[in-house]
Amino acid sequence: MNKKVIEKLAAQSAHELPFLDGVGGGVLGVGRTHGRDRRPQAAVNLSGKDVTIFLDVALGFPADVAARSAEIRRHVTATIEQATGLEVRRIDITIRALTPHTERSRRSLQ
Protein backbone atom coordinates (compact mmCIF):
# COMPACT_ATOMS: atom_id res chain seq x y z
CA MET A 1 0.00 0.00 0.00
CA ASN A 2 1.28 3.43 -0.97
CA LYS A 3 2.12 5.69 2.00
CA LYS A 4 0.68 8.81 0.28
CA VAL A 5 -2.66 7.05 -0.28
CA ILE A 6 -2.89 6.17 3.41
CA GLU A 7 -2.03 9.77 4.39
CA LYS A 8 -4.79 11.14 2.16
CA LEU A 9 -7.27 8.57 3.43
CA ALA A 10 -6.44 9.42 7.06
CA ALA A 11 -6.75 13.17 6.40
CA GLN A 12 -10.10 12.72 4.63
CA SER A 13 -11.39 10.45 7.38
CA ALA A 14 -10.56 13.05 10.05
CA HIS A 15 -12.08 15.79 7.85
CA GLU A 16 -15.41 13.94 7.92
CA LEU A 17 -15.76 14.65 11.64
CA PRO A 18 -17.95 17.73 12.19
CA PHE A 19 -15.81 19.22 14.98
CA LEU A 20 -12.45 19.21 13.13
CA ASP A 21 -10.89 21.63 10.69
CA GLY A 22 -7.57 21.58 8.93
CA VAL A 23 -4.55 23.79 9.53
CA GLY A 24 -2.05 25.05 7.01
CA GLY A 25 0.27 27.72 5.80
CA GLY A 26 2.50 29.99 7.78
CA VAL A 27 6.13 29.84 8.78
CA LEU A 28 6.99 28.80 12.34
CA GLY A 29 3.33 29.25 13.26
CA VAL A 30 3.11 32.83 11.96
CA GLY A 31 0.41 33.29 9.34
CA ARG A 32 -1.05 29.84 9.92
CA THR A 33 -4.66 29.50 8.81
CA HIS A 34 -7.40 27.02 9.60
CA GLY A 35 -10.86 26.41 8.33
CA ARG A 36 -13.51 24.08 7.04
CA ASP A 37 -12.07 24.23 3.55
CA ARG A 38 -8.81 22.64 4.74
CA ARG A 39 -8.30 18.99 5.56
CA PRO A 40 -6.36 18.00 8.66
CA GLN A 41 -2.77 17.13 7.77
CA ALA A 42 -1.69 13.51 8.09
CA ALA A 43 1.62 11.68 7.98
CA VAL A 44 2.13 7.95 8.39
CA ASN A 45 4.85 5.47 9.26
CA LEU A 46 4.47 1.98 7.80
CA SER A 47 6.09 -1.11 9.26
CA GLY A 48 4.86 -4.21 7.50
CA LYS A 49 1.10 -4.26 8.06
CA ASP A 50 1.29 -1.83 11.01
CA VAL A 51 0.54 1.88 10.62
CA THR A 52 1.26 4.83 12.90
CA ILE A 53 -0.63 8.01 11.99
CA PHE A 54 0.26 11.58 12.89
CA LEU A 55 -2.57 14.13 12.54
CA ASP A 56 -2.42 17.94 12.78
CA VAL A 57 -5.88 19.40 13.36
CA ALA A 58 -7.86 22.46 14.40
CA LEU A 59 -10.40 21.49 17.05
CA GLY A 60 -13.74 23.17 17.63
CA PHE A 61 -13.79 24.63 21.14
CA PRO A 62 -15.13 24.43 23.79
CA ALA A 63 -14.84 20.67 23.73
CA ASP A 64 -13.89 17.69 25.85
CA VAL A 65 -10.45 17.21 24.29
CA ALA A 66 -9.99 13.66 25.62
CA ALA A 67 -13.40 12.53 24.33
CA ARG A 68 -12.88 14.21 20.95
CA SER A 69 -9.41 12.65 20.64
CA ALA A 70 -10.87 9.21 21.35
CA GLU A 71 -13.57 9.80 18.72
CA ILE A 72 -10.95 10.86 16.15
CA ARG A 73 -8.89 7.74 16.87
CA ARG A 74 -11.92 5.42 16.58
CA HIS A 75 -13.14 6.95 13.31
CA VAL A 76 -9.76 7.16 11.57
CA THR A 77 -8.73 3.67 12.76
CA ALA A 78 -11.96 2.12 11.47
CA THR A 79 -11.64 3.86 8.11
CA ILE A 80 -8.00 2.92 7.54
CA GLU A 81 -8.36 -0.68 8.69
CA GLN A 82 -11.52 -1.26 6.65
CA ALA A 83 -10.17 0.37 3.48
CA THR A 84 -6.64 -1.04 3.54
CA GLY A 85 -6.54 -4.16 5.69
CA LEU A 86 -3.63 -2.66 7.62
CA GLU A 87 -3.58 -2.43 11.42
CA VAL A 88 -3.44 1.02 13.03
CA ARG A 89 -1.11 0.76 16.03
CA ARG A 90 -1.18 4.39 17.16
CA ILE A 91 -2.59 7.77 16.20
CA ASP A 92 -0.80 10.87 17.51
CA ILE A 93 -2.96 13.99 17.38
CA THR A 94 -1.50 17.49 17.53
CA ILE A 95 -4.05 20.24 18.07
CA ARG A 96 -2.61 23.22 16.21
CA ALA A 97 -5.55 25.58 16.79
CA LEU A 98 -8.77 25.89 18.77
CA THR A 99 -11.62 27.35 16.74
CA PRO A 100 -15.05 28.67 17.72
CA HIS A 101 -17.22 25.57 17.58
CA THR A 102 -20.34 25.41 15.46
CA GLU A 103 -21.78 21.96 14.85
CA ARG A 104 -21.93 21.12 11.18
CA SER A 105 -22.91 18.05 9.25
CA ARG A 106 -20.43 15.27 8.52
CA ARG A 107 -18.45 15.73 5.37
CA SER A 108 -17.65 12.83 3.12
CA LEU A 109 -15.78 12.23 -0.08
CA GLN A 110 -18.21 12.34 -2.99
Structural domain of 48: 3-100
CATH number at residue 54: 3.30.70.1350
What ranges in 32-101 are assigned the alpha helix state H?
A: 65-84
As a whole number, mean pLDDT of residues 23-43 equals 63
Write the pLDDT tens digit of every residue in 48-73: 999 999 999 999 888 899 999 999 99
The pLDDT value given to residue 21: 83
Q: How far apart are CA 98 and CA 4, in angstroms?
A: 27
Domain assignment present for 107: no
Domain assignment present for 46: yes
Domain assignment present for 110: no
Number of domains comprising the chain: 1
Domain assignment present for 84: yes
Domain assignment present for 87: yes
Q: Measured between alpha carbons, how far apart are the two ends of the chain, in Å?
A: 22
Q: What is the largest CA-CA distance in the chain?
A: 40
pTM of the model: 0.81
Domain assignment present for 105: no
Domain assignment present for 42: yes
Domain assignment present for 64: yes
